[in-house]
Amino acid sequence: MGKFELSHRVVLAPLTRQRCLGYVPQPPMILYYSQRTSKGGFLIAEAAGVSDISQTSPEMPGIWTKEQVEGWKPIVDAVHAKGGIFFCQLIHVGRVLDTAITINTFLIYAFQLVPNGKSPVSSSNKKLAYQQRSPKKLTTQEIPLVVDDFRVAARNAIEAGFDGGEIHGAHGYLIDQFLKDEIIDRTDEYGGSRCRFALEVVDAAVKEIGGDKVGIRLSPFANYSESGDSNPETLGLYMAESLNEFKILYCHMVEPRMKSVFEKVDCLDSLIPMRKAFKGTFISAGGYGREDGNKAVAENRTDLVAYGRLFLANPDLPKRFELNAPLNKYDRSTFYTRDPVVGYTDYPFLETTI
């Protein structure tokens, strides 16, 4: 993978775990990531916000302040101490800043408290079905400021010790809100070319830290947070081809079968056209197990496969795959709790289960 020598093709996918405090990474994350590190393994950290209105919860990390950068350093050091390659995912959630949460079966609407009374921002002023306020439609004068937030975040990731940064352009967050025609309704240059904002972010990151340290995650076929597209294959193919200009390290795409959160459906669409078009390392994600992951690599449909829930529950997942050993079952109820141990660092290793 570029200058990086990997020992296997099993990637830790970026996973929100909500174990931070005030957007600052916390010590339990050192053990969590270290547990999932193997020599020559590739890990992508959970999404880190690029600005003070870029994250949905203070329990999620940021990468826009010095304190946050310092919080990441011992985590990155622990991964490097075990020979892992570690990238930081960079995110701006856009209009998803205001979230809906379910408590005891009741849907609760939550305004995200942000500094100076700022509102969520997006490519348009369309709000999600559950939201009570519309996002602010970014102006052409404001968009470059957001691009610069990503640039600074990429620089901060390198300062924290990460080997590179992955731009989160998927799953209905801000970049996806510009890419998808269900949301964007602009008539300016960012509407005429829906990919412009995404590519400007890529360009800024590449110029700041180098294309060999930049990846991007895309989900052209997914419809997270009302972010569908009428022609996702054309969108995905255009992005894959356009990214070649910037010579970025990798493109990380979500399989078409993953239409929404935790929903895997039968689907005839494929990432193969995008895989063929993109000239760097290609990573596939979305509901993979051991067998279909091996098959995807054997058939040259991908270079690497990212695993989320299975890696969450099996810190030694590459070893288990190598030995075709049984897997721990994940406990979905602990995915987003604040507990620093339960459902976080207490999943057993193979040698403790035999």
Distances (CA, A) of 307 to 98, 285, 354: 28, 7, 23
- 38 vs 289: CA distance, rounded Å: 19
Residue identified by tokens 């935790």 is: 262
Task: Tell me the backbone φ, ψ of residue 22, rounded to 5 degrees.
Answer: 60, 40
198 and 179 in contact (C-beta within 8 Å)?
Answer: yes
307 is catalytic: no
Distance separating the N- and C-terminal Cα atoms of the chain? 34
Give the DSSP letter string of 237-255. Answer: HHHHHHHGGGT-SEEEEE-
Of the residues 173, 288, 344, 347, only one is catalytic, namely: 173
- 10 vs 304: CA distance, rounded Å: 6
H/E element holding 306?
strand 304-307
Burial class (CB in 10 A: 0-12, 13-18, 19+), 86: buried
- Using alpha carbons, select from 236, 248, 176 the residue that is nearest to residue 206: 248
- 136 vs 121: CA distance, rounded Å: 5
Distances (CA, A) of 300 to 3, 9, 268, 296: 21, 12, 18, 6
- 209 vs 213: CA distance, rounded Å: 7
Determine if residue 18 is left, alpha or beta; phi over 0 gives left, psi from -120 to 50 gives alpha, anything else beta: left
Determine if residue 350 is left, alpha or beta; phi over 0 gives left, psi from -120 to 50 gives alpha, anything else beta: alpha
- Using alpha carbons, select from 144, 46, 136 the residue that is nearest to residue 97: 136
Residue type, position 19, single letter: R
Supply the residues annotated as catalytic.
Answer: 173
